[in-house]
Amino acid sequence: MRIFSILAALVVSAILALFIIDRPRLFNMLGMGSDAAETAETSETDTALDTDTSLVKVVVLRSTARQIDTAVSLRGQTEAARTVDVRAETSATVVSEPLRKGARVEAGQPMCRLDEGTRGTALAQAEAELDEARSRVPEAQARLTQSMAQLEEAKINLNASAKLSQGGFASTTRVANTEAALATAEAGVESARAGLRGAQSGIQSAQASVATAEKEIERLIIRAPFAGLLESDTAELGSLLQPGSLCATIIQLDPIKLVAFVPETEVARVIPGAMASARLVAGSGAITGGPEARSNEVRGQVTFLSSSADETTRTFRVEIEVPNAEGKIRDGQTAEILVSAEGAVAHLLPQSALTLNDEGTLGVRTIDADAIVEFHPIALMRDTPEGVWLTGLEETEDVIVLGQEFVIAGVQVAPTYRELSQ
């Protein structure tokens, strides 16, 4: 039994040696012929090649850049150009019939009239005091003129006395008297000038009293600061208003503002002065695209872009001014806004094609003519249901859309091409 085992081992060893060293002779001995040998050799060669060329298979999309409109899409709401709470500045009782909310008022139109009370009497008294103060001015001017004449006379007398005293024709006492008279005349001039200034100050004080009384009477009529619509009834007849009490709230809707908040990734593309269009989300037509939708489309111009981001949302406030002469646009309506920006050449790719490199940079992986992988950083422009629009690539690129996570830049891959619609 042991001899048969040894013989079987020797036979198997011989066959293996012939298979490895001289395969054609082995196939001839077994009657398989040269064709079988060649087939076996070919099969073995293909297996070896497959083992040596084990490249990662990826799916590649050949993308061509296209010119697109780069309007910035925002969502915001309408906002009144101005909203003011008109309040009383004095205390009095309302003596006018109220205007009802929704009424249109013009700039300067009376909204609340207050009881005059004794304010008319106070004005008359202030005007009388002004007349009295003005009448004192001529008297003070006359006194000043008289004092200046007396001063000139005193100077002449002093000069004459001094010359006579030098010639021995006047006593020292006379000279002293003329000097005293001169000092008295100078004091009289200063007193007259002070009296004139006092009279003029009295006029200014009386004028201030008149202006105060007139302003107090002017405050009895509370007027609209600008043309707009009343958002509340004006104060009711007979109600007492104190300083700060509300007469009415008025808003201005022409022009109206569209207010939105643009993210920091898009803020560089929004420029003050750029044109913008918006669709107001109000009514079934605007939502379903019916005949009313077109009437809810408005156009305007960017008038303000905030220079400071909101601390919570990291967004920037943008305002668009829209004409609203007919008043159809209301305050607080939701609006879908498109702000015009410069056009750009971009690629439309599936969002799944985006990846990160080792530094955390967002981009895509492409292949060149030799199927060597390359990494390209990109900039996102717009996200759509069909994919993402991005820039940063050449006009035509072979982008890896499946398998990009399993390769790195510099390696060779086995690509399979597909169309964008697949």
Q: What is the pLDDT of residues 371-422, one digit of tens each?
A: 999 999 998 877 888 889 898 899 999 999 999 999 999 999 999 998 655 4
Give the closest residue to 364 by CA, choosing from 346, 396, 390, 395.
Answer: 390
Q: Which structure tokens are listed for 20?
A: 């490895």
Maximum pairwise Cα distance, the chain: 187
Q: Which structure tokens are listed for 40?
A: 């076996």
Assess contact for 365 and 409: CB atoms under 8 A.
yes
Span 46-50, mean pLDDT?
Answer: 42
For the CA atoms of 198, 202, 203, 209, what is the dihedral angle to 10 degrees?
Answer: 160
Q: Which structure tokens are listed for 152?
A: 């000139």
Q: What is the pLDDT of residues 292-323, one digit of tens each?
A: 445 588 999 999 999 999 989 999 999 999 99
Residues ≥6 apart with Cβ < 8 Å to 206: 126, 129, 130, 132, 133, 134
pLDDT value for 179: 78
Helix (H, G, I), strand (E, B) or coil at 280: strand
Q: Percent of the chain at pLDDT above 90?
A: 45
Q: What is the DSSP letter of 231?
A: S
When mean pLDDT is compared over 107-116, 156-165, 189-198, 326-335, the highest value belongs to 107-116
Span 169-174, mean pLDDT?
Answer: 67
- Phi (first) and psi of residue 13, to 5 degrees: -65, -40
Give the closest residue to 188 by CA, choosing from 220, 150, 229, 137.
Answer: 150
Say which residue, 29 or 335, is predicted with more confidence.
335
- Phi (first) and psi of residue 385, to 5 degrees: -60, -25
Amino acid at the residue 405: E
Amino acid at the residue 297: E
Span 148-174, mean pLDDT?
Answer: 75
Helix (H, G, I), strand (E, B) or coil at 330: coil
Helix (H, G, I), strand (E, B) or coil at 142: helix
C-alpha to C-alpha distance for 163 and 374, rounded to whole angstroms: 118
Residues ≥6 apart with Cβ < 8 Å to 92: 114, 115, 116, 117, 220, 240, 241
C-alpha to C-alpha distance for 389 and 375, rounded to whole angstroms: 17
C-alpha to C-alpha distance for 95 and 117, rounded to whole angstroms: 11
Residues ≥6 apart with Cβ < 8 Å to 13: none
Q: What is the pLDDT of residues 340-372, one digit of tens each?
A: 887 778 899 999 899 999 898 999 999 999 999
Q: What is the DSSP letter of 94?
A: B
**Lowest-pLDDT range, 121-130, 142-151, 246-255?**
142-151
Helix (H, G, I), strand (E, B) or coil at 236: coil
- Position of tokens 């002469």? 325
Q: Quick one: which H or E segment has residue 219?
A: none
Please return the burial class of 223, using the count of CB atoms within 10 Å of its CB with bins 0-12, 13-18 and 19+: middle
Say which residue, 42 or 60, is predicted with more confidence.
60
Where would I find the H helices in 111-171?
119-167
